[in-house]
């Protein structure tokens, strides 16, 4: 089991780093720029080329069944699930075969509503409760995946 982080604009990089070290799990940050403060033998940083979906494509190329991806990008989560991985968003919502269809449908609906001008705002700001839910969700996911 390895942890992959869609690192661009991810608000929980520090939390994932601490959890990876606690569980001695390899951690791969993939984004469009280098990040300071994550030098450790368990951590690998991959800087993808600039461009639409370049970092996502690097994650999908490398992820394997049994890995976990941390991402708010629902299409990326769906692509990782197709390869047998699991996903979690920064607010602690798990992506699995049972939930990804609804997540994709809601995302598409919200995109259509924003394009039509019916919705003008985005998601609420990230809170301490979101961070707590993420940490709890990631811990539960890791523990579940460690069970035989």
**Residues 63, 85 contacting (CB under 8 angstroms):** yes
Choose among 146, 133, 130: nearest CA to 22: 146
Reported as a single tens digit per residue, the pLDDT across 77-132 is 999 999 999 999 999 999 887 776 666 666 566 666 667 777 666 667 889 999 99
Q: 145: pLDDT confidence band, cut at 50, 70 and 90? A: very high
Residue 31 has a pLDDT of 93
Mean pLDDT of the chain: 89
Cα–Cα–Cα angle for 2, 79, 104, rounded to 5 degrees: 120
Q: Are strands 94-95 and 86-88 parallel, antiparallel or unpaired?
A: antiparallel
Asked if the model's pLDDT at residue 49 lies above 60, the reply is: yes
Asked if the model's pLDDT at residue 20 lies above 90, the reply is: yes
Q: Which CA distances in Å does 13 have to 4, 81, 131?
A: 10, 21, 11
Region 139-146: mean pLDDT is: 95
**Residues 19, 142 contacting (CB under 8 angstroms):** yes
Residue 121 has a pLDDT of 65
Residue 118 has a pLDDT of 73
Total residue length of the chain: 148
Give the chain's domains with CATH numbers. 3-146 (3.40.50)
Cα–Cα–Cα angle for 74, 107, 62, rounded to 5 degrees: 10
């Amino acid at each position: 089991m390895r942890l992959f982080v869609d690192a661009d604009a991810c608000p929980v990089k520090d939390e994932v780093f601490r959890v990876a070290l606690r569980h001695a799990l390899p951690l791969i940050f993939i984004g469009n720029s280098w990040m300071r403060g994550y030098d450790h033998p368990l951590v690998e940083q991959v800087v993808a080329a600039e461009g639409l979906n370049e970092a996502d494509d690097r994650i999908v190329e490398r992820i394997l069944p049994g890995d976990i991806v941390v991402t708010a990008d629902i299409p990326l989560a769906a692509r990782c699930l197709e390869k047998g991985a699991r996903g979690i968003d920064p607010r602690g919502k798990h992506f699995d075969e049972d939930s990804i269809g609804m997540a994709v449908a809601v995302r598409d609906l919200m995109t259509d509503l924003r394009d039509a001008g019916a919705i003008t705002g985005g998601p609420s700001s990230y809170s301490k409760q979101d961070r707590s839910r993420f940490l709890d969700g990631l811990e539960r996911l890791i523990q579940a995946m460690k069970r035989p």
